[in-house]
Amino acid sequence: MTHTPTTRRDGLIVRELEDETLVYDLQRDEVHCLNRTAALVWKHCDGRLTVAEITKRVEDELQVTLDEQVVWLALAQLRGKRLLAERIPRARSAPRISRREMAHRLAQAMVIALPLITTIVAPTPSYAGSLNCSTCGIGPTAECCMTGCPCQVPAPCCSGICSSGSCT
């Protein structure tokens, strides 16, 4: 059976940057940062391409020879972060390989980065709006708000710098 993975698009805000892609999951309040390799795999999961075809496209874009296991590793991470529309079962012929073993195999070549997805949980709007100096932390003088707290009275920012509504 040939599998054609599809990315989940509903409830996501996607921003492509130079070497990474940020995906904000509105349903789970999570922000996922996909490195270039993971972002390319995610980009090509259009429901029409097989894993082998995705591997070839990523190879072409990275201009390297790529083991199909790298794509399977990226798919496992995307599935774990709930960024695929459906679960893609691994082909029986595709051996399982750990991230550590993959890194070991590629250590001598050092030409590509393994797919990597890092995630942070974003505060809900109601929580972010409710922060004040007492919940966020008082500075060393007890007269100012710590870095990262909202700019508001009665206490000014410890740094004296307020940008985008938050102490910096």
pLDDT digits (tens, 9 = 90+) for 46-88: 999 999 999 999 999 988 888 888 898 899 999 999 999 887 7
Please report the pLDDT score of residue 66 as a whole number. 85
Q: What is the pTM of this model?
A: 0.61
Same domain, yes or no, for 88 and 30?
Answer: yes
> How far, in Å, CA of 54 to CA of 4, rounded?
9
Cα 135 from Cα 114, distance rounded (Å): 39
153, 93: one domain: no
Return all residues near 153 (Cβ < 8 A) that are at least 6 apart.
Answer: none
Structural domain boundaries enclosing 160: 124-168
Residue 114 and residue 133 share a domain? no
CB 23 within 8 A of CB 34: yes
